Structure 1
Amino acid sequence: MTQIIRSLSEISDRYDVLYCDLWGCLHDGYTPFAEAVEALRAFKAKGGFVLLLTNSPRPRASVERQLERIGVPRDCWDTIASSGDSARAAMLRGIVGRKVWFIGQPHDQGFFAPMEVLENAVEIEQVPLEEAEGIVCTGPVDPSADPAEMRPQFLSAKVRGLKLLCANPDIVVDRGETREWCAGALAQLYSDMGGESLYFGKPHAPIYELARMRLAQAGIDCPSERILAVGDGLKTDILGAQGEPIDSLFITGGLSRAETGTTDQPDPAKLARTLEQAQVEATWSIGFLR
């Protein structure tokens, strides 16, 4: 059973590395959460290492620029591992072919930028669906639109046996007070229709392999029992931690705020029911990262 805590400092001595989610934990897409920033700063001040583990479809440099625009201070984190970089590496190795149909917004074109560390990369060409060998999805063209609107195109793609590379397994995200669809919703729809979707972010193994590589690049060799995953996504952050396996801190005031009855802290009975229904286990739980 999960244990409810009031602050990260209560358990921080147990861990050397945090895998910290972004949306819903550190910011809401517009504004940093001041208490979360201070909690990460305090963890670093004690010698801890903060790796931002995000299902953003953006490359690491683009995520960093986004954090700067939002106002997340640079001194509260050390490095970034993004679903975007994990998925990009697979795409540039040709996992969905050379000619791809792109589903996403114009600001996600950075996904197709070369990766200097990758040798013998495939030259990717964006083409219409009828010419494509595969699909690359960074998210809906319109995040407010019903994913079911993609059924006609997905039916055509499925019949042709196209694979869909999903750059962000998240189903939804809260941008301020507005809930938006993510690439994971489209990938789930495609799979439900009988198509094949490929995932590289949480809770799937490739992004955790990338995280380990980032730690190694920083000269950190940390045993799994000294790593804590922090996140508000039960089927991404918490399920992914469970699969590693590493401990997890469930931020109940994010995506599951209503289900867990979170105002300042979660309602214990509702929290237990939410975890049971999701069929996941969180080591620790807290209303908000602080």
Structure 2
Amino acid sequence: MPSDRYGHRSSAPKQREAALSIPLEQTLMRLPEQVIPLYLRAAGRNRAFRSVKNAQAHIDDLALRPRPYAPPRRLGFPVTIDVSRRDGWPVYRVRPADAAPRGSVVYTHGGGWVNEISAEHWRLVAQIAAEARTTVVVPIYPLVPFGTADAVVTAIVDLAREASEQHGEVRLAGDSAGGQITLSAAMVLRDQYNVTLPRTLLISPALDLTCSNPRIPQVQPSDPWLAEPGIRVFADRWRGELPIDDPRVSPLAGDLAGLGPLTVFTGTHDILNPDAHLLRDHAKAAGVEMEFHEEKGLVHVYPLLPTRTGEAARAIIAERLTV
């Protein structure tokens, strides 16, 4: 089946091996926290990040064989889903099935700017829609090597403005690479449209794509998922023509003053955790309200995982995104 000009194939009904998948991904079973790092290492989930060669091979493979992005048929929450196209992108809207939605959330998924949305993302989206009783807008944005930061951040900004017009109050949320896009979009909304969002929620966000934080090498041995060599390759392709320190690529390089409240989730066994601390420090210095959830010993995007701590984090996320 041919790809469209964004490098995406039409959605297929069978479930793929997602970038964030874990065993028993088709169930809602809760797993012990200590199992997650063991599984990630045993399954080689960090393979694409371990070397420049692996990262480039990963880009090439996904460009040739794009993964399906369709939501699973079973999400565990009462929601309705529809899809439209915007400039060639599929854009899903997820709504509570048993209530009239209020406001909206634009959720931008993670995956290193190269991996497609996963089942875990979809389940979080469904929970937000059902429990926050809101409309969640989910763009299937173009990935590396087809997508670049400038184009995608601009489009997310446009989607947020449209969501505000159609649904009322809008909030932004995203995880990992999607956290980078989300915070960058919040800055553009502030700077170009004088919009201060009532909430921007970031799950293990990528904040500085230079990977220059001196604490990263200290955290790396405990991170079973991410590694600096691959992040640098993906980031270099993602930035396109922009400098790596442009706030549309590395939002930590931007000015936080004037942003609305931020909510951040981060685990200490994540090489993105040191930059989350810098974001907290910069937010305090800029007078920006921040709610900082840090879990010791937990991995990247732990709120998406089927664990007790992940479950508790998801409940908080839905509550914070309630209009």
TM-score for both structures, normalised by structure 1 = 0.31
TM-score for both structures, normalised by structure 2 = 0.28
Q: State the structure with more CA Rg.
A: 1
- Structure with greater contact order relative to length (CA < 8 Å, sep ≥ 6): 1
